[in-house]
Structure 1
Amino acid sequence: MDDMHGNSPKTLRQDLLKQRKEFAAGQNYAPAKDLLIASLNQFLAEDANSQRVIALYWPIQDEIDLRPALIAWAHQHPGRHLALPFARADKHLDFYEWQDGDALIPSQYSVPEPNPNNPSRPVVHPDCILIPCVGWSSSIDNGKTHYWRLGYGGGYFDRTLAALRKHNPKLICIGIGFDWQKLNDAQWAAQTHDEPLDMLLTESGLFR
């Protein structure tokens, strides 16, 4: 991590995933997870009343599991829906309505996904997207802080977000991560094609 040019994003990503695995197996994981979920619940109680569809992710590789909190949020009101992403062949994501217990199919990356041919689960347009970070960074531009996500490197998310934001400028995208995943400029800097996050949620709270 000390040589600015010797670390490709790929190597950095592998290091971070290894660290996350170790962190998830350690004693600090449970309290950090509890704090993060508490902040999520606060956001859902205070900010998510006007939202109809929240897109979440199916947790893989030690990603934090937000499903119980979001299922509870959806059950509180009949107009609320959850959605899961489906990875298209053209490297964009579609979001399909998801309910707890739905049969899912494994993607080419072995991520459980909704079945796009299920007529009872239509494509939906999320008001809010929760997306896990492998790493994250922040930058300040004209006094405004921006948050950036280092993902798995497929580019699906940036393409999808760019397209969705054109149709819905009010879309809220929240990165999910831990404080220790924060990267400095020497480790990683967002590229011009990277889409910024609207908020970032860690065990320290919700950063806007």
Structure 2
Amino acid sequence: MHGNSPKTLRQELLKQRKEFASRINYVQATAPILSSLTTLLEKEGASYRSVALYWPIQDELDLRPALMAWSTNVVGRRLALPFARPDKHLDFYEWQDGDSLIPSKHGVPEPDPNNLDRPAITPDCILIPCVGWSSSNKNGKTHYWRLGYGGGYFDRTLADLRKKNPKLVCIGIGFDWQKLNDAQWAAQTHDEPLDMLLTESGLLR
């Protein structure tokens, strides 16, 4: 049973995720997501020149090995990490394994925007971890929504980036047990929908 307020709901979901990540079968439980991500990148990743990932915190699924494999397979592919601006928007900077990162005010490792060797990137695809997620159906079309940490960084950023690049692909990363119904949480008007959602059941779009 999840709490009624978004804050309580997030706290309970994060507690459940921590317990889930500590289970002995966690690696087996997450393997289908990583496998589906690899398949997705093989099939559709040829059209991406840059993919923005996240640095895993608070028991988020680590996608770095799969994405590093994708980026090293073809010359010119680049990975990027988000940098949180004071105005609660995100910029993305090129990231390579071994780069020095700086902690944000929230304790999240971020790229150094002053590193001239790692320029800013406008990604073709963004991978976003979900604290929780939901789906809705309108006019026969299913939409997927992300419950995040409450700062609104991704929603503001996606709204801006989608104006500049209508072909931008945003993929949420989550687990089946994180799905919320309307009584627990419903997306607000400012929330940006996900283009796809990846869970252990496969790719939802």
TM-score (norm 2): 0.98
Aligned-pair RMSD on alpha carbons?
0.9
Secondary structure of the corresponding residue to residue 117 of structure 1: coil
Equivalent-residue separation in structure 2 for 1:77 and 1:35 (angstroms): 24
Equivalent-residue separation in structure 1 for 2:44 and 2:29 (angstroms): 22
Structure 1's unaligned 5+ residue stretches are none
Aligned amino acid, residue 138 of structure 1: S
TM-superposed CA distance for 1:32, in Å, is: 1.8
Equivalent-residue separation in structure 2 for 1:14 and 1:176 (angstroms): 18
Question: 45, 48, 51: which one pairs with 1:51?
Answer: 48
The reply on whether 1:98 has 2:95 as its aligned counterpart is yes
Equivalent in the alignment of 1:195: 192
TM-superposed CA distance for 1:206, in Å, is: 0.6
Secondary structure of the corresponding residue to residue 172 of structure 2: strand
TM-superposed CA distance for 1:26, in Å, is: 1.0
The reply on whether 1:86 has 2:79 as its aligned counterpart is no
Superposed, which structure 2 residues align to 1:45-194 within 5 Å?
45-194=42-191
Aligned amino acid, residue 105 of structure 2: Q
The reply on whether 1:29 has 2:26 as its aligned counterpart is yes
Secondary structure of the corresponding residue to residue 21 of structure 2: helix
Secondary structure of the corresponding residue to residue 189 of structure 1: coil
Equivalent-residue separation in structure 2 for 1:28 and 1:166 (angstroms): 42
Equivalent-residue separation in structure 2 for 1:142 and 1:155 (angstroms): 27
TM-superposed CA distance for 1:28, in Å, is: 3.7
Once the two structures are superposed, residues 176-196 of structure 1 have per-residue CA deviations (whole angstroms, 9 ceiling, x without a partner) of 000000000000000000000
Secondary structure of the corresponding residue to residue 119 of structure 1: coil
Equivalent-residue separation in structure 2 for 1:177 and 1:32 (angstroms): 12
Secondary structure of the corresponding residue to residue 47 of structure 1: helix
The reply on whether 1:12 has 2:9 as its aligned counterpart is yes
Residues matched between the structures, number: 205
Once the two structures are superposed, residues 21-59 of structure 1 have per-residue CA deviations (whole angstroms, 9 ceiling, x without a partner) of 000001342112111000000001001111000000000
TM-superposed CA distance for 1:7, in Å, is: 1.0
Equivalent-residue separation in structure 2 for 1:27 and 1:189 (angstroms): 33
Equivalent-residue separation in structure 2 for 1:31 and 1:190 (angstroms): 31
Structure 2's unaligned 5+ residue stretches are none
Percent of residue pairs identical: 76
Secondary structure of the corresponding residue to residue 194 of structure 1: coil
